[in-house]
């Protein structure tokens, strides 16, 4: 179950006797404050003009004797969004934990009645609260979960489905664990082990492919990236396959996740301090696994989910792959290596090719690749997830629906478009190969640096043969979370955000 345990109550009066030791009051304090709290706020403002302007703890006659003000600021401006509620809840959560609270009550007020922006305000407050209180897996294992995650329960005033909120938070917790944990504790075999434990006795079937010969035969691009890691058994690669089969499936999500447990850059070595934080280069696979955890909790009736996660260490050594090599992928496409630090797209191409090959076995397949792929996505989109659809996905408005879900559920995205220049960029220069993996410069300084990798993936996975002009169109969306995967863009120390768990869950699972 998600941490902390959630209880939903209809109103503040119904919370009486619930053992709550603080109230976190979240909203715009320039608007009408609920009658249960208005006199306390007015009195506190007489002594401290910061009340309602920033997160503070005020002692007064409410549950537990502690009222934590958590202002959102204005919510009605064109550029305001539901993340302000998550941020306010997070600020309140930190004060509650520092004050020694163990069971606070969240009260959200003054939210504009706009379904498009604030229809899930209470849910987003809960998830923001949990995000702030999350502690890393290594810390929990070393110090004891009860010792460092001291807020054990939380109440929420609202009309929401607590099972749905906890299912999403359970998925986000899995994603944060897998993304944020250091590279030895979450080396490829232990990543697979975590998945096996997470989905034990659940409706999600886990298959771990770790036989080296099988991987070399079926995932040749992935194994090129893994080649230099084979000298260290605890770093050996694997593919983790997760499958959920719905009882009455009407559509199928087929997801490939980039799980680079450590990215040295390979022979194109990361220098100048840029290697720190590269244990988080597995955030795409982590996000996909987290989404499957929410699926396992929700057990949707009509949505299949099939995922393949490529879990690999991009090491450097005598047997490392190098630029200029030509490697034939699972699809039969010959890939010329342009830069060994553009490794994630190689393993994604093999994973997508496998999913493409079996897509015809499932109803209404939709393919996705999820990855911390390019610095350019972070530069171009800031803290937003970049969505790049192919033609069939654009026709089906898949990215439109994901964008809408992200806005409502506080996991926002922005849409980029695949253009002819992207396909031209990765064109073969000789008859020796079919596609170029990358240029040899940083993506952040390359025009269309987060769009052209989608063109590469389409070609290298064989998806370019399944466009709108084909007999079997396959919708495909590349999801780049390089800008959204950690808080503040701090890849070494920032807390993982668990994107895009909430966005996908809101789009495909919540009704």
Q: List, by residue number, the catalytic residues.
A: 270, 345
Instruction: Please count the other Cβ atoms lying within 10 Å of the Cβ belonging to residue 100.
Output: 11
Q: How far apart are CA 225 and CA 213, in angstroms?
A: 15
At 428, list the tokens.
């073969």
H or E stretch at 24: strand 22-27
Nearest alpha carbon to residue 169 among 487, 484, 501: 501
Q: How far apart are CA 285 and CA 264, in angstroms?
A: 18
- What's the number of CA atoms in the CB half-sphere (13 Å) around residue 148? 13
Burial class of residue 299, CB neighbours in 10 A (0-12, 13-18, 19+): middle
Q: How far apart are CA 330 and CA 350, in angstroms?
A: 5
Contact between 169 and 127 under an 8 Å Cβ cutoff? The reply is yes
Contacts of 253 (CB under 8 A, 6+ apart): 303, 304, 305, 306, 366, 368, 504, 508
Q: Looking at residue 227, what DSSP letter applies?
A: G
H or E stretch at 127: helix 121-133
Contact between 127 and 410 under an 8 Å Cβ cutoff? The reply is yes
Nearest alpha carbon to residue 334 among 190, 480, 220: 220
Contacts of 271 (CB under 8 A, 6+ apart): none
Helix locations, 299-374, DSSP H: 344-358
């Amino acid at each position: 179950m998600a941490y902390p345990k959630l209880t939903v109550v209809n109103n503040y009066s119904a919370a009486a006797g619930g053992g709550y030791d603080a109230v976190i009051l979240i909203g715009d304090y320039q608007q009408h404050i609920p009658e249960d709290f208005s006199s306390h706020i007015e009195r506190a403002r007489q002594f401290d003009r910061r009340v309602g302007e920033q997160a503070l703890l005020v002692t007064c006659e409410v549950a537990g004797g502690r009222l934590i003000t958590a202002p959102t600021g204005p919510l009605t401006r064109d550029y305001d969004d539901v993340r302000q509620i998550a941020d306010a809840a997070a600020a309140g959560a930190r004060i509650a934990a520092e004050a020694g609270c163990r069971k606070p009550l969240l009260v959200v007020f003054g939210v504009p009645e706009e379904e498009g922006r604030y229809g899930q305000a209470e849910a987003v407050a809960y998830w923001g609260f949990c995000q702030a209180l999350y502690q890393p897996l290594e810390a929990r294992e070393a110090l004891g979960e009860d010792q460092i995650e001291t807020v054990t329960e939380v109440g929420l005033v609202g009309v929401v489905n607590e099972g749905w909120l906890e299912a999403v938070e359970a998925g986000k917790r899995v994603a944060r664990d897998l993304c944020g944990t250091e590279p030895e504790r979450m080396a490829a075999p232990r990543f697979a082990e975590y998945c096996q434990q997470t989905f034990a006795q659940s409706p999600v079937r886990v298959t771990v492919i770790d036989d080296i010969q099988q991987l070399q035969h079926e995932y040749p691009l992935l194994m090129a990236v893994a080649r230099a890691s084979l000298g260290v058994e605890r770093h050996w690669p694997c593919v983790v396959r997760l499958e959920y089969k719905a009882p009455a499936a009407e559509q199928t999500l087929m997801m490939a996740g980039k799980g680079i447990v450590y990215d040295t850059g390979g022979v194109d070595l990361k220098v100048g301090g840029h290697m720190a934080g590269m244990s988080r280069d597995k955030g795409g696979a982590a996000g996909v696994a987290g989404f499957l955890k929410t699926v396992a909790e929700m057990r949707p009736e009509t949505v299949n989910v099939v995922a393949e996660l490529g879990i690999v260490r991009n090491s450097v050594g005598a047997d490392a792959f190098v630029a200029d090599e030509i490697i034939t992928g699972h699809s039969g496409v010959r890939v010329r290596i342009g830069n060994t630090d553009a490794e994630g797209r190689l393993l994604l191409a093999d994973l997508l090719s496998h999913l493409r090959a079996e897509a015809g076995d499932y109803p209404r397949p939709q393919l996705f690749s999820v990855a911390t792929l390019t610095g350019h996505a972070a530069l171009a989109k800031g803290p937003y997830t970049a969505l790049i659809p192919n033609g069939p996905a654009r026709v089906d408005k898949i990215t439109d629906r994901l964008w809408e879900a992200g806005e409502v559920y506080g996991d926002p995205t922005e849409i980029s478009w695949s253009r002819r220049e992207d396909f031209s960029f990765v064109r073969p220069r000789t008859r020796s190969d079919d596609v170029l993996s990358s240029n040899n410069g940083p993506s952040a300084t390359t025009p269309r640096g987060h769009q052209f990798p989608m063109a590469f993936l389409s070609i290298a996975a064989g998806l370019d043969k399944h466009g709108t002009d084909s007999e079997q169109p396959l919708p495909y969306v590349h999801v780049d979370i390089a800008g959204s995967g950690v808080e503040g863009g701090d890849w070494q120390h920032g807390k993982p955000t668990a994107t895009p768990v909430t966005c996908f869950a809101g789009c495909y699972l919540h009704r």
